[in-house]
Amino acid sequence: MAGDGSSASDRAPGGPLGGVRSTYPGPRRPIADDPALSWWRRILPVVIAHRATFLAAVTLSFASLVFQTLVPNLLNGAIDHALVHADGSLRHDVELIVAIGLVAGITGILSRRYLYTTAYNVEADLRSLIYEHLTSLSFSFYDQVQSGQLISRANSDIRSVQMYSTFAPQIVVQISIGVVAVGFMLAISVPLTLVALVVMPILYVIGLKMRRVMFPISWITQARLAEVATIVDENVNGVRVVKAFAQEGAEVNRLSDAAEGVAWAYIKDAHLRAIWSPWVQNLPQLGLGLVLGAGGVMVIDQHLGLGAILAFNAYLLMLQAPFMMLGQLIMMGQRAKASAERIFEILDQRPDIVERPGAIAWPPGPGRVDFNHVTFAYPNGPRVLDDFDLHIEPGTTVALVGRTGSGKSTVARLLPRFYDVDAGAIAIDGHDVRALTLRSLRDTVGVVLDEPFLFSTSLRDNIAYGRPDAPEEAIVAAADAAHAMEFIHRLPQGLDTVVGERGYTLSGGQRQRIAIARTLLANPPVLVLDDATSAIDVRIEEEIHDALRGLLDGRTTLVIAHRVSTISLAQRVVLLDAGRVVADGTHAELLASSPLYAEVLSQAAEAST
């Protein structure tokens, strides 16, 4: 995360959610930053970071193919000397060919092992780079992007790049060996070599055409796969809403439409392959036919030996292999290019919230909070806060009250700098939050949101998420303070109970109590409770409030409140309307002096009944 002071390995599995820490060291090199570079040149630094295994793979692959090119030449000599002229034994030639074949096989096995090692390490690095970059992006990015799109780019798009990085070096090496084969062919017969290579210019032109027609359909295919991933993600996460409104049929139809779109893209891709691949694969056969015709005449006229023509054809077959794979390489390359550019769309995003040069860690202080004439609007949205001015003394608890849409939750998101203000400033102990490191700011300001999120791991790990090294007694104390232990004790595995997806195996009130315990364990000097007890019944809420009163003592707290019971936690109440402070005082004072305050409380009471 940009400026949070943690490394990739700190965020790798092995914190409170990971169990055993991974041995994966994290990506060694980022992609090239220059968007003007071609896609493979941007990926190249990631590959170069694994140059030892990559070079070993390429070198061994080249060696394996070089050994293979020696065999036809040996065959030429064996046939001419031992069979045609009957002036030698085949034993030595056979032993040599077998030995060369064994060496070629061993080097081929090792080259594939190193090549796949490199490819999968590159895949892991790219996936880690994407995830690491996603953690650095601001909330404004996630407000506008679909999670399914991100999942698709971190999986299927990366896999396309990985597959290309696996097979492309093999084909490139084979093409380079083709140059060696051409050298042997020239040594046997220059005229026959020119006949064999007559189809090469045609293949080059066809290859260029294939690149142009394959890229658009490759991009469409990856985009439509991402659309399917988005729909599946939304349906899995929103399954309760889908079933509550009996919309299973509509969602199946929606997915079917998206799946048909993917099928169309794949069929179009297959159609283009069917048109162009035979040209690339079969044109070399024309060269082979020309060679057999011309070579046969040369043998009959005794301008060329029988062994020579057999060796020449063997070399020509070596040239055929890379050309038969060339079509596949071009198609995979265009899909990899489309996928890489979709990956770059994520990696080229820059976070809105970044640390200023020279940002400092928050120096421990009493915890005074100042909102100085703050103005703010979400991207492409209306103004939410307009000259919002609020000053909270250290150690006091202030309740922020207002109608829905008045800007209360926005205040809670601006204080830990999830977003930056458009005008004005927010300060803690006189330090502008933009001048503090993000890590220290978010260690200072603890937030309990109105929609708690739990990870699919144990309750213990969820509570200790902010302090993975917290001792057992501290975890239990935080859970007790949030009145979570009373239901945790009833669970078969207690704190070791693993919650389901997003914590949905717990009730809304239970999830909120775990979220409160998680924040209390982190023990931040400034606390924001964003309607944090809204899903808890009145009896439990009163018990939590009794515990919170002691914990909030001496801690600067901002409470986003609707219920009178929550407001009772605060020594001071601020009424917000249309993004401005319109009243400020105690609960009794506002109730007596502000009709709007009484109206807001009345509406909240009706909504909760």
* Closest-CA residue to 320 (of 175, 204, 195, 168): 175
Token couple for 495: 């704190």
Mean pLDDT of 333-341: 83
| pLDDT for position 14 | 41
CATH number of 369-608: 3.40.50.300
**3-state SS string for 261-323:** HHHHHHHHHHHHHHHHHHHHHHHHHHHHHHHHHHHHHHHHCCCCCHHHHHHHHHHHHHHHHHH
Transcribe 356-413 into DSSP letters: PTT-BPPPP----EEEEEEEEE-TTS-EEEEEEEEEE-TT-EEEEEE-TTSSHHHHHH
CATH T-level fold of 24-347: ABC transporter transmembrane region fold (1.20.1560)
Cα 417 to chain centroid, rounded: 23
Phi and psi at 14, nearest 5°, equal 135, -5
Does residue 312 come out as left (phi exceeding 0), alpha (psi in the -120 to 50 range) or beta? alpha
Answer yes or no: are the C-beta atoms of 377 and 571 closer than 8 Å.
Answer: no
Transcribe 170-185 into DSSP letters. Answer: HHHHHHHHHHHHHHHH
Predicted confidence (pLDDT) at residue 286 exceeds the cutoff of 50: yes
* CB within 8 Å of 609: residues ≥ 6 apart: none
Rounded to an integer, what distance in angstroms lies between the CA atom of residue 137 and that of residue 129? Answer: 12
- Helix %, strand %, coil % of the chain (to 5): 65, 10, 25
DSSP structure string for 538-576: HHHHHHHHHHHHHHHTTSEEEEE--SHHHHTT-SEEEEE
Interatomic CA distance for residues 450 and 560, integer angstroms? 9
Please state, for a pLDDT cut of 90, what percent of the chain lies above it: 13
Is 362:428 a contact under the CB 8 Å cutoff?
A: yes
Check: CB of residue 343 under 8 Å from CB of residue 153: yes
Of 544, 533, 515, 536, residue with least CA distance to 452: 515
Taking a C-beta distance cutoff of 8 angstroms, is the pair 2, 351 a contact? yes
In the predicted structure, residue 99 carries a pLDDT above the cut 50: yes
Choice among 135-139, 317-321, 414-418, 433-437 with the minimum mean pLDDT: 317-321
For CATH 3.40.50.300, the residue range(s) in the chain are 369-608
pLDDT at residue 574 in the model = 92
pLDDT in tens, 237-260: 666 566 666 677 777 787 788 888
- pLDDT of 15 > 60? The answer is no
The rounded distance, in Å, linking the Cα atoms of 87 and 84 is: 8
**Identity (one letter) of the amino acid at 351?**
P
What is the rounded radius of gyration, in angstroms, for the C-alpha atoms of the chain?
A: 34
Q: β-strand 369-377 against 423-428: which pairing, if any?
A: antiparallel
Q: What amino acid is encoded at 130 in this protein?
A: I
CA distance 16 to 162: 31
Q: Is the pLDDT of residue 431 over 90?
A: yes
| Spatial distance between the Cα atoms of 536 and 514, rounded to a whole number of angstroms | 12
Distance in Å from the first CA to the final CA of the chain: 43
Q: How far are the Cα atoms of 42, 108, 337 from residue 49, in angstroms, in the given order?
A: 13, 23, 20
Between these two residues, 379 and 72, which has the higher pLDDT value?
A: 379
Pairwise CA distance, residues 104 & 66, whole Å: 8
The residue written with tokens 């401005």 in the block is 580
pLDDT computed for residue 541 by the predictor? 67
Structural contact between residues 1 and 135, judged by C-beta atoms closer than 8 angstroms: yes
| Contact between 428 and 558 (Cβ < 8 Å) | no
Query: Could you read off the pLDDT of 128-179 as tens digits, one per residue?
Result: 888 888 888 877 787 777 777 777 777 778 888 888 877 777 777 777 777 7
Strand 572-577 to strand 580-585: parallel, antiparallel, or no bridges (unpaired)?
Answer: antiparallel
Burial of 223 (0-12, 13-18, 19+ CB in 10 A): middle
- Average pLDDT over the chain reads 80
Per-residue model confidence as pLDDT tens digits over 579-601: 899 999 988 888 888 899 888 88
Q: What is the dihedral of CA 357, 358, 362, 367, to 10 degrees?
A: -70
Angle between the N-to-C axes of helices 472-481 and 508-522, in degrees from 0 to 180, rounded to the nearest 10: 130
Q: Give the pLDDT of residue 324.
A: 63
pLDDT in tens, 541-566: 666 666 566 667 778 999 888 778 77
Which one, of 287, 12, 289, lies nearest residue 127 by Cα?
12
Lowest model confidence (mean pLDDT) among 94-108, 159-173, 406-420:
159-173
Other CB atoms within a 10 A radius of the CB of residue 92 amount to: 12
> Cα dist. 469→322, 494, 496, 497, 596 in Å?
56, 19, 16, 19, 47
**What's the pLDDT tens digit per position in 349-376?**
888 888 888 899 988 888 899 999 999 9
Residue 346 pLDDT grade (very low, low, confident, very high; cuts 50, 70, 90): confident
User: What SS3 class is residue 22?
Assistant: coil
pTM value is 0.68
From the number of C-beta atoms within 10 Å of its C-beta (0-12, 13-18, 19+), residue 15 rates as middle
Summarize the confidence of residues 177-190 as an average pLDDT.
Answer: 79
- φ, ψ of residue 216 to 5 degrees: the values are -60, -45
Q: Per residue in 382-392, pLDDT tens?
A: 899 999 999 99
pLDDT value of residue 573:
92
Comparing CA positions, the residue from 78, 84, 154 lying closest to residue 342 is: 154
The enclosing H or E element of 461 equals helix 459-463
C-beta separation of 573 from 557 below 8 A:
no
What is the model's pLDDT at position 434? Answer: 93
